[in-house]
Chain A
Amino acid sequence: MSSTRMTPERESRSPLPVPSPLPNAPAASSTDAASGADASLSPIRDFLSKRGSGRLADNSFAAVMLLCACSIFAIVIFIFGILVVHSRLSLMQFGWKFFTRQAWDPVSGDFGALPFIYGTIATSLLALCMAVPLALGVAVFLTELCPRPLRAPISFLTELLAAIPSVVYGLWAVFVLVPLMRDVIGPFLYKTLGWTGFFEGPNFGVGLLTASMILAIMILPIISSLTRDIMNAVPNSQREAVLALGATRWEMIRIGVLRNSRIGIVGAVMLGLGRALGETMAVTMVIGNHPDISKSLFAPGYTLASVIANEFSEATGDLYLSALIEIGLALFLVTIVVNAIARLMVWAVTRNAPARVN
């Protein structure tokens, strides 16, 4: 049982097992400890044994990380809180009616958000109508049809679209899209679709339709790249199963891919909507900035975001400022809700997806 007894075994290096203490041999523990203590401490063992438990450092590290994570909650709560506080004048003066009133008269202090809500919803929905089919087309092309070598460059190009700043889109729209709308697209639409009543009135190039078009270009990459991820998450077995039944490629896409990913695609579209609702600079630069509610898409309009961008720094008077901040609050809450729903939908589809294959 002593260390002396062990020495010959070690030296013999016998491959054959030797008898050894039975489980729970009573005195074993103390003997072993003694043999451990006999050995003079190597510098390494000495150093390591003197290092602390690291508990304090570990706990403080974890606490700092947790604090930073929680700062994300704090940011959201703080934005909400500060917007509520600073819009209280307007909240108290107009109440819920703020969102149904059409007046916007800074001079007499009469404010209502309806024209901006109309402008925001109209431009966003129109933009979705234009962007969604295109985005789906791109996503289907990239996941199902595109020859492999073209895949990376094309998806890189569509992602470049997302990297262009809003103000540059705005600049381009002001100097390229607006004249194009005024001189080419507008007259064409009036001639062909004028009877619908959506293309009435003078066409200056700026207005709801131009704003929608630039919005559509801007939200395209978001929708298409998310849709692509979602389609990639559809297992290949689904595709093969449908193909094995003799389906054409399109039928395979429709049944095997689109049907399986529809919740996620709706989520992606909602995310695009969230982005469109809050997009500011490019829209402000081409929408005409006039609080009107007009059926014609040529008419100038105003969105929640663009009225803030345009009038916030000139807002004289506490009520005016407060009304603008209330618009910001409304925008904040609406985008939070839209994004929350969208995220839940996208998560539902991609959470259990296999690792993405690029």
Chain B
Amino acid sequence: MGVGILVEDLNAWYGTTHTLQDINLHIPANHATALIGPSGCGKSTFVRCLNRMHETNPIARATGTVKMGDVDIYSDASPVEIRRRVGMVFQRPNPFPTMSIYDNVVSGLKLNGFRNRRILDETVERSLKQAALWEEVKDDLKKKSGASLSGGQQQRMCIARALAVDPEVLLMDEPASALDPVSTSKIEDLIFQLKSQYTIVIVTHNMQQAARVAENTGFFLNGKMVEFDSTHKIFTNPRDKRTEDYITGRFG
């Protein structure tokens, strides 16, 4: 089961660039929330602030409060502890090239020192099934390198990897932008299946995708969140002129 996320006065910088300005937002638990906006609007930075990946860049900085459930992730815990509770799927599939499919999927467990074989086996099967990849790879789990799969399979494996740690929140940063349409639709189906069990935040520049998978949608522009509402409302009757311009394709 997922937890909700409450963001208050979040600001973020890259060097001297103020990439996120005063973001306030509540992301409900066990729903999919989409973040849309033109590239460079800060939506990726925003999700990276939710698991403190933002600060892995030495010149990056963030202030404000992000509460995951009742844990303030910037003051109550270390980045490592937060990231264990939050799965992240990146823009491009990034399997560990030296590891087998099996090891890739449970890497979050093994690299954190988890050794129970039986649970590892179960986890591989569970998360690959959740990621709809089990049937395709179950025969060469340990034989094939994770990097030998196709792009779409790799991305689903990366989703399985994120799910294997049994996270409460799943962050997806344009997970389908590097994939072909067939793989994209598989990923979207997946999100649809998974959102009842996890709090999903998905960044996308594809508005149809947002409309298809998410209950709520936020529109980002120039580092600010212009509007956040139910997806239906955003796409049919936005309050803000800029949102309307964007969704009707007048810019971006």
Q: A: which residues have CB within 8 A of B?
A: 6, 9-11, 13, 15-25, 28-33, 35-39, 42-45, 47-49, 51, 53-55, 58
A24 and B25 contacting across the interface, CB-CB below 8 Å: yes
Contact between B77 and A53, CB atoms less than 8 A apart: yes
A residues in contact with B85, CB < 8 Å: 45, 48-49
Q: Tell me the minimal C-beta distance from A34 to chain B in angstroms.
A: 9
Q: Would you call A51 and B113 a contact (CB within 8 A)?
A: yes
Q: Is the CB of B123 within 8 A of A29?
A: no
The interface centre, meaning the residue of B69, B114, B116, B192 with most chain A CB atoms within 10 A of its CB, is B69
Q: How distant is the Cα of A28 from the Cα of B30 in the complex, in angstroms?
A: 13
B196 nearest CB neighbor, chain A only: A10
CA A47 to CA B84, docked complex, whole Å: 10
Q: Do A44 and B114 touch (CB < 8 A)?
A: yes
Q: Which residues of A contact B168 (CB under 8 A)?
A: 36
Instruction: Decide if A32 touches B28 in the complex (CB within 8 Å).
Output: yes
B205 within 8 A of A: no
* Known A33-B69, A39-B1, A44-B109; contact A28-B116, beta-carbon cutoff 8 A: no
Given contacts A48-B84, A48-B165, A53-B78, whether A13 and B29 have CB atoms under 8 Å apart is no
Number of A-B contacts (CB under 8 A): 119
Q: Which residues of the partner chain A approach B212 to less than 8 Å between Cβ atoms?
A: 15
With A29-B6, A35-B3, A58-B80 known, 12 other A-B pairs at CB within 8 A are: A6-B30, A17-B215, A18-B230, A20-B216, A24-B6, A32-B3, A36-B29, A36-B69, A45-B85, A45-B166, A51-B112, A53-B77
Asked if B2 is at the interface of the complex by the 8 Å CB criterion, the answer is: yes
By the criterion of a CB under 8 Å from any partner CB, how many residues of chain B are at the interface?
47
Interface residues of B (CB under 8 A from A): 1-4, 6, 8, 24-26, 28-31, 67, 69-70, 77-78, 80-81, 84-85, 109, 112-114, 116, 119, 123, 164-166, 168, 192, 196, 211-212, 214-217, 228-233
21 pairs, CB–CB < 8 Å, chain A vs chain B: A6-B30, A15-B212, A17-B211, A17-B215, A17-B231, A17-B232, A19-B230, A20-B31, A20-B215, A21-B28, A22-B26, A28-B28, A29-B6, A29-B69, A32-B69, A36-B29, A45-B85, A47-B112, A48-B84, A54-B80, A55-B80
Whether A28 contacts B119 by the Cβ 8 Å rule is: no
Residues of A contacting B31 with CB < 8 Å?
6, 9, 20
**Contact assessment for B166 and A42 in the assembled complex, using a CB-CB cutoff below 8 Å:** yes
Closest 10 CB pairs of A and B: A32-B4, A53-B78, A17-B231, A33-B69, A36-B3, A10-B196, A17-B232, A39-B1, A33-B70, A32-B29
> For the complex, what is the distance from the CA of A29 to the CA of B26, rounded to whole Å?
8
* Bound: A43/B114 CA distance, A: 10
By a CB distance below 8 angstroms, the chain A residues around B229 are 22
Establish whether residues A10 and B30, one from each chain, have CB atoms under 8 Å apart when the complex forms: yes
How many angstroms from the CA of A54 to the CA of B114 in the assembled complex?
A: 15
- Rounded to whole angstroms, the CA-CA distance of A22 and B6 in the bound complex is 11
Alpha-carbon separation in the docked complex, A141 to B25 (Å):
63
- Taking the nearest CB of chain B, how far is it from the CB of A248, in angstroms? 45
Contacts of A37 in B (CB 8 A): 69
B70 & A29 in contact (Cβ 8 Å cutoff): yes
Residues of B within 8 A of A33 (CB): 3-4, 69-70
Contact B4 A31 (CB under 8 A): yes
| Whole-angstrom distance between the Cβ of A69 and the nearest chain B Cβ | 16
Q: Are the C-beta atoms of A20 and B80 separated by less than 8 Å?
A: no
In the complex, how many angstroms separate the beta carbon of B131 from the nearest chain A beta carbon? 16
Residue of A21, A36, A45 with most partner-chain B CB within 10 A: A36
The CB with the most chain B CB atoms within 10 A, among A9, A30, A32, A54, is that of: A32
Q: What separation, in Å, do the CA atoms of A20 and B164 have in the docked complex?
A: 28
| In the bound complex, CA of A28 to CA of B26 (Å) | 8
Are A24 and B26 in touch, CB under 8 angstroms?
yes
Q: How far is the CB of B227 from chain A (nearest CB, A)?
A: 9
Q: Which chain A residues lie closer than 8 Å to B6 at the CB level?
A: 24, 28-29
Bound: A49/B86 CA distance, A: 12
Please indicate the chain A residues that have their CB under 8 angstroms from the CB of B1 in the complex: 35-36, 38-39
